[in-house]
Structure 1
Amino acid sequence: MSFIDKAKNTAEKVTGEVKEAVGKATDNKDLQAEGKKDQTKGSIKNVGEDVKDAFKK
């Protein structure tokens, strides 16, 4: 299940990058902030998965 979780987290991070880029292109500060938030959430979740994997070994 860890692979699926990591894929979801990476997708969230990529979605955040797209939102941030669109926000910059359209000068939409709210969308930029939402994109950065999504990227951070995805990164933090991936770190959590890495920690879980480390304890499984």
Structure 2
Amino acid sequence: MGTDDKARNSAQENKGKLKEGVGDAIGNEQMQAEGKADQSEGALKQAGEKVKDVFK
């Protein structure tokens, strides 16, 4: 289960980077902000997974 979670979190970060890039390209500030939020959320979840791994 942990590997699936890590993959999902990484995918969310990548989706956020893509969304932010598209927002930059078309000048859409809302899309840029959503992309940054997705990246942050994915990174935070990744950190939580790393903490779980330490205690296993």
State the one-letter code of the partner of 1:25.
Answer: A
CA shift digits 1:7-50 (9 cap, x unpaired): 00000000000000000000000000000000000000000000
- The TM-score with structure 2 as length reference comes to 0.99
Corresponding pairs, count: 56
Q: CA RMSD in A?
A: 0.2
Task: Give structure 1 regions of 4+ aligned residues with deviation exceeding 4 angstroms.
Answer: none
In structure 2, runs of 5+ residues without a counterpart are: none
State the one-letter code of the partner of 1:15.
Answer: K
The share of aligned pairs that are identical, in percent, is: 52
Counterpart of 1:40 in structure 2 is 40
In structure 1, runs of 5+ residues without a counterpart are: none
